[in-house]
């Protein structure tokens, strides 16, 4: 730090007059190309290196290059997970010594003193992530430098510029998310499919839909769901849904029935509980297009949590052939909820209500006692203990079906 308040005599010849450099400066490059912006890594990464190089000392070169081709919305622990084969196929002229995770793990061991990036948003779009990276590196004595920051001036001015830049990146991230979500909602509302095709369907390019072309000329055609060429798949999906809805069978029991007749219920490889449960839960079997079922931006890859149904986006009308009706799908979800309740008090009662609804019988609570409740089911009164044992529930359901 420069100060105008120096000593009254010249002390520059003393050994401790200037700060001694303990080690030579060793700078590493940090960059990122967003998958969401359709950037070309072979152009963007060399450009970032060129801009960051302006902050190198005379005659200095980068000792390592760390860069990722990933969304800046990812937290550090999910960055840099792409395979080396993927990066080799990008034909980027800049060598890659790893990604952000590798830099954080190896910087201190390699004696890196400075990390240079084109701008803070090349570290991350989320301000918390970029701050975390800066904090982790600075705690190890490694200075983070952004090429778009002014040289000289006060530390407070530099910090103000940096934080403003990070706020801008955070706001850009929020705007990008809002626009992306709005576009995806319209994509579903207009009937086009997201993700894989459920078992009874295949994806087919909608030739009547407008084509979206990226700035690199790659087309992104819109796809819709159409029935699978093997019509047995529709029958198989319809049957496994019926087995859950009407017979209250668990996934393992449904698999046993499906595997007993492979000609009638064809499947690649084999039936699994995830496949059966996923089909029963999939609202696309109703003919409607449904989006935002899972929170794919949170949770671990492959384990995205389900969003509440109130946040799902449904097309206003059916847009492809239906396997089951919406009412049948809803009943299947009620049965599944009752089965998951297991020994919970309302589980067996929910089974009775579901069966009564299927048979067109209203269920009304008549009176409540300390140990039992009286219900009117159709034109009959039934006394049920509290809680309702599974055996009693099944007997009531059997009686209702026999009388119908």
pLDDT in tens, 113-136: 999 999 888 888 888 888 889 999
Q: Determine whether 379 is exposed, middle or buried from the number of CB atoms within 10 Å of its CB (0-12, 13-18, 19+).
A: exposed
Write down the pLDDT at residue 161.
83
How many other C-beta atoms lie within 10 A of the C-beta of residue 185?
A: 13
Residue 208 pLDDT > 90: no
Instruction: Tokens 């039992």: give the residue.
Output: 372
- Per DSSP, the chain holds a count of helices (H) and strands (E) of 11, 13
pLDDT at 228 over 90: yes
* Beta carbons within 10 angstroms of residue 106's beta carbon: 15
Is domain 27-173 annotated with CATH 3.40.50.1390? yes
pLDDT for 289 equals 94
- The mean per-residue pLDDT over the stretch 257-276 comes to 93
In this predicted structure, which of 166-180, 207-221, 302-316 has the lowest mean pLDDT?
207-221
pLDDT at 18 > cutoff 80? no
- pLDDT at residue 23 tops 70: no
Query: pLDDT > 90: what percent of the chain?
Result: 38
The pLDDT of residue 136 is: 92
Mean pLDDT, to the nearest integer, of 100-122? 91
* Residue 303, pLDDT above cutoff 70: no
Q: Does the pLDDT of residue 214 top 70, yes or no?
A: no
The answer to whether the CB of 285 falls within 8 A of the CB of 240 is no
Percentage of the chain with pLDDT > 70? 90
**Weakest mean pLDDT among 104-113, 275-284, 292-301, 333-342:** 292-301
Average pLDDT for 375-380 = 90
pLDDT, position 340: 77
Average pLDDT over residues 16-20: 71
Helix pair 251-259, 232-247: axis angle to 10 deg: 140
Do residues 127 and 134 lie in contact, with contact meaning Cβ atoms separated by under 8 Å? Answer: no
| Per-domain residue ranges of the chain | 27-173, 232-314, 342-403
Distance between CA 356 and CA 358 in Å, rounded? 5
* pLDDT of amino acid 237: 96
Mean pLDDT, range 228-232, rounded to an integer = 95
Average pLDDT value for residue range 347-371: 84
Residue closest to 48 by CA, chosen among 63, 31, 72, 65: 31
Give the closest residue to 116 by CA, choosing from 144, 87, 90, 97.
144
Checking if the pLDDT of 211 tops 70, the result is no
Q: How high is the pLDDT of residue 212? A: 62
Confidence of residue 215 (pLDDT cuts 50, 70, 90): very low
* Band of residue 299 on the pLDDT scale cut at 50, 70, 90: very low
Q: Are 55 and 145 in contact (CB under 8 A)?
A: yes
Residue 143's pLDDT band (boundaries 50, 70, 90)? very high
Looking at residue 35, its pLDDT comes to 65
Type and span of the H or E element at 64: strand 64-69
Q: Which of 43-47, 148-152, 304-308 ranks highest by mean pLDDT?
A: 43-47
Q: DSSP class of residue 121? A: G
Q: How far is C-alpha 123 from the geometric centre of its chain's CA atoms?
A: 20
pLDDT (mean) for 256-283: 93
User: For all residues of the chain together, what is the average pLDDT?
Assistant: 85
- Among 57-71, 333-347, 358-372, the least confident range: 333-347
Say how far apart CA 67 and CA 122 lie, in whole Å. 9
What's the rounded Cα separation, in Å, for the pair 67 and 30?
A: 6
Residue 298 has what pLDDT? Answer: 47
> For residue range 30-65, what is the model confidence (pLDDT) as tens digits?
999 886 445 688 888 999 999 999 999 999 999 999
Average pLDDT over residues 203-223: 69
User: Which residue is it, tokens 């046993």?
Assistant: 256
What is the mean pLDDT of the segment spanning 5-30?
A: 80
CA distances from 329 to 170, 238, 364 (A): 40, 10, 24
Question: Per mean pLDDT, which range of 100-104, 153-157, 212-216, 220-224 is the poorest?
Answer: 212-216
pTM recorded for the entire structure = 0.56
> Residue 400 in contact with residue 361, Cβ under 8 Å?
yes
């Amino acid at each position: 730090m420069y100060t105008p308040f120096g000593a009254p005599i010249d002390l520059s010849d003393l050994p401790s007059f200037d700060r001694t450099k303990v080690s030579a400066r060793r700078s590493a490059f940090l960059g990122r190309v967003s998958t969401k912006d359709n950037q070309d890594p072979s152009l963007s990464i060399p450009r970032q290196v060129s801009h960051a190089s302006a902050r190198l000392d005379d005659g200095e070169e980068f000792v390592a290059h760390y860069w990722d081709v990933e969304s800046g919305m990812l937290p550090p622990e999910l960055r840099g997970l792409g395979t080396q084969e993927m990066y080799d196929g990008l034909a980027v002229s800049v060598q890659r010594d790893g990604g952000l995770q590798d830099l954080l793990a190896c910087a201190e061991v390699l004696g890196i003193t400075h990390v240079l990036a084109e701008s803070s948003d090349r570290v991350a779009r989320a301000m918390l992530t970029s701050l975390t990276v800066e904090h982790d590196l600075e705690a190890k004595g490694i200075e983070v430098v952004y090429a778009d920051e002014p040289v000289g001036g006060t530390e407070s001015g530099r910090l103000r510029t940096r934080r403003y830049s990070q706020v801008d990146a955070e706001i850009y991230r929020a705007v990008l998310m809002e626009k992306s979500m709005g576009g995806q909602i319209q994509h579903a509302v207009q009937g086009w499919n997201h993700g894989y095709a459920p078992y009874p369907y295949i994806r087919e390019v909608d030739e009547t839909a407008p084509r979206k072309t990226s700035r690199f000329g790659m087309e992104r055609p819109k796809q819709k769901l159409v029935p699978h060429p093997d019509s047995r798949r529709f029958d198989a999906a319809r049957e496994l849904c019926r087995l859950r809805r009407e017979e209250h069978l668990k996934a393992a029991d449904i698999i046993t029935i499906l595997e007993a007749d492979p000609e009638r219920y064809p499947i690649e490889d084999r039936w699994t509980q995830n496949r059966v449960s996923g089909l029963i839960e999939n609202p696309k079997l109703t003919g409607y297009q449904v989006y935002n079922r899972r929170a794919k931006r949170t949770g671990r890859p492959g384990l995205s949590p389900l969003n509440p149904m109130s946040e799902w986006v449904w097309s206003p009308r059916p847009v492809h052939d239906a396997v089951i009706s919406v009412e049948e799908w809803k009943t299947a979800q009620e049965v599944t909820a009752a089965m998951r309740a297991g020994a919970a008090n309302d589980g067996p009662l929910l089974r009775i209500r579901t069966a009564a609804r299927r048979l067109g019988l209203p269920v009304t609570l008549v009176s409540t006692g300390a140990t039992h409740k009286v219900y009117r089911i159709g034109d009959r009164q039934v006394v049920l203990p509290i809680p309702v044992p599974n055996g009693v529930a099944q007997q009531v359901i059997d009686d209702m079906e026999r009388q119908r």
